[in-house]
Structures are given as structure tokens and as C-alpha cells.
Amino acid sequence: MKRLFFTVVFFSFILFHADGQFRAYQPGEKVEYLIHYGAINGGIATLELKKDSSNGRETWHSSMVAMTTGLADALFRVKDIYEVFMDPETELPLVSIRNISEGRYKKYNVVTFDHNSRPDSAILSSDLTGIHITQHGIHDILTCFYWFRNHILPGIDTIKKGQMITIMTWFTDELYPIRLKYIDTEEIKIRTGKIKCHKFNPVTETGRLFKTEEDVSFWFSADNNFLPVKIRFNIFVGAFTVEMTAYEGLLYPLEMKKK
């Protein structure tokens, strides 16, 4: 269950091409989060974007790192790392890396994306499962998140409450549709202050972790950064929260009411 929880944490962070007219982010952006169960702190996470290169071409390199701390680390040590080298113009993934360490469970995989050889599809090469032919314009779980910030959230005024948004990604070596329901805009309180946010509920799979399909909620800042600010998981044993604690390198000033 703990391994599944941390996978969901990454997945949710990790939600969603730009026409070149608007960007919600830039290299140098770094956001830090605290993962806690009520008053008990259980882990930290960092999402960072830098300029880099891959196979001799200029890329943007995004990395997401989450790890347990304190008692949680002593009981069940987790350090999960997701990375992607992406094309700055298309925001499509070029190389995606998944490096998982959760107790005794270890998994390392590199997926290479070829978006140009075929006009109607993409060719993916996985170190673990070989060649896959997928739909054109497929994202990995990290580039999908940036695409969402640049293309869905800027049009938030045209999205109706209850409307479902579906994005196809490649995650854990399979096609993974991300389905998000828009809930509303609301002001939330985090440890660093109050901030107006857009709330979405990703559709979750019921069973071992969740009772209903709407047991995960997350909030993006209602400014031009569309920054992921908070995530809440209602699971069988209680509610876990992922909450922003620090940020730097944002493209726009963050509209937050400080404490």
C-alpha cells in the first residue's frame, strides 16, 4: 500500500506544447513540497526544470524526486526519481527515466521517444519492454504536466464545472489515460499562506487504496504560473496531503496572501 501511495503521489504531481504564445514556466523553476499525514510529516518532494542537452541537442530537463523522512524513512525507505529530457518547442519527451527505490522494490527504466520517423504515430523504445508504437504526440508523465499548465489551464474560463479532460500518456511502460474533472476555483490555505487555486479531481481506480473515483484532489494556482500547490489523498487509512513549502525561478510573481 505504501508503494502504491508514493506512486500515486508522483502520478498526481505529475499531471499534463505550446503554441509559442504563452508559457506558464521556464528553466530555473523549482518547487518543494512536504508530504504529511495530519500533523505527521512523512516525506518531501522536489520538482525542478533546467536547461540541458541530450544526444547533442538542446533540451529542457525536468526532474521529480520524492523521498521519505523521519519515522517513515526508518520504517519504509522510499526514494523515487522521475526525469525527462524534453524538446523546448514541442514540449514532447525525448528521453524519459524512471528510477524507483521503495523498500526492497527497485525499478530502473529508460524510454526513448521518436516523434519524427512516422507521420501518424510515435516510436518508443523501452529498456525493459522493447519497441512500442503509440499515438502521435504522446507525452510521458512529466511533459504531460507541463502541457497541462500551458494549454488547458490558460483556457480555464471556458471549462465548465464537472467537465472531464482526458490526456493520454505513457507511464510504467503502458498507455495511461489521465482523466481530470474540473471542480471549481477556491482559496486554500497552506503553510506559507493563502492562495486562490483551480481544483481538479483526477479519476482514480477504486480498490486497494481508494473508496471512490474522486478520492484525490489537487489545486493549481489561479495565476499565470498555474503552479501545483496542493494535493490531497483520501485513502482507506486516512488523508494524506502534499503541500508546497517553497518555490523559486517562477516566470510570474506568485499571487499568495502571506501569513
Spans of all domains in the chain: 2-245
Look at residue 9 in the predicted model and tell me its pLDDT: 47
What is the C-alpha to C-alpha distance for residues 83 and 97, in angstroms, rounded to an integer? 5
Indicate the pTM of the whole model.
0.86
What is the C-alpha to C-alpha distance for residues 161 and 147, in angstroms, rounded to an integer? 21
Single-letter residue type at 204: T
Look at residue 50 in the predicted model and tell me its pLDDT: 97
Look at residue 11 in the predicted model and tell me its pLDDT: 44
Residues of the chain with pLDDT under 50: 1-20
What is the C-alpha to C-alpha distance for residues 192 and 256, in angstroms, rounded to an integer? 8
Contacts of residue 128, Cβ cutoff 8 Å, sequence gap at least 6: 109, 173
Look at residue 215 in the predicted model and tell me its pLDDT: 74
Single-letter residue type at 259: K
